[in-house]
Copies of this chain bind each other. A is one copy, B any other.
Amino acid sequence: MGTAAAPWKQLLFGAIEANSHLKHSSYAQLATIGVNGRPSNRTVVFRGFEEKGERIQINTDLRSRKIQELKQCPFSEMCWYFSDTWEQFRINGKIEVIDASNPDQNKLQLREKAWFANSLKSRMTYTCPAPGMPCNSEQPNQEVKLDPSSGPVADYCLMLLEPEKVDYLNLKSNQRLLFSSMISGTGEKCWTSEKVNP
Binding site for B on A (CB under 8 A): 22-24, 27, 29-34, 37-43, 73, 75-79, 81, 83, 88, 90, 92, 128-135, 137, 176, 178, 194-198
Tell me the complex Cα distance, A66–B64, Å.
Answer: 27
Determine which of B22, B27, B75 lies in contact with A39 in the assembled complex, contact meaning CB atoms within 8 Å: B75
- Shortest CB–CB separation between residue A111 and chain B, in angstroms? 23
Tell me the complex Cα distance, A78–B29, Å.
Answer: 10
List 15 additional A-B contacts (Cβ < 8 Å) besides A24-B81, A31-B31, A133-B197. Answer: A22-B83, A24-B83, A27-B83, A31-B41, A37-B73, A38-B73, A38-B92, A40-B77, A41-B90, A42-B79, A43-B88, A131-B196, A132-B178, A134-B196, A135-B196
A195 with B134: CB separation less than 8 A: yes
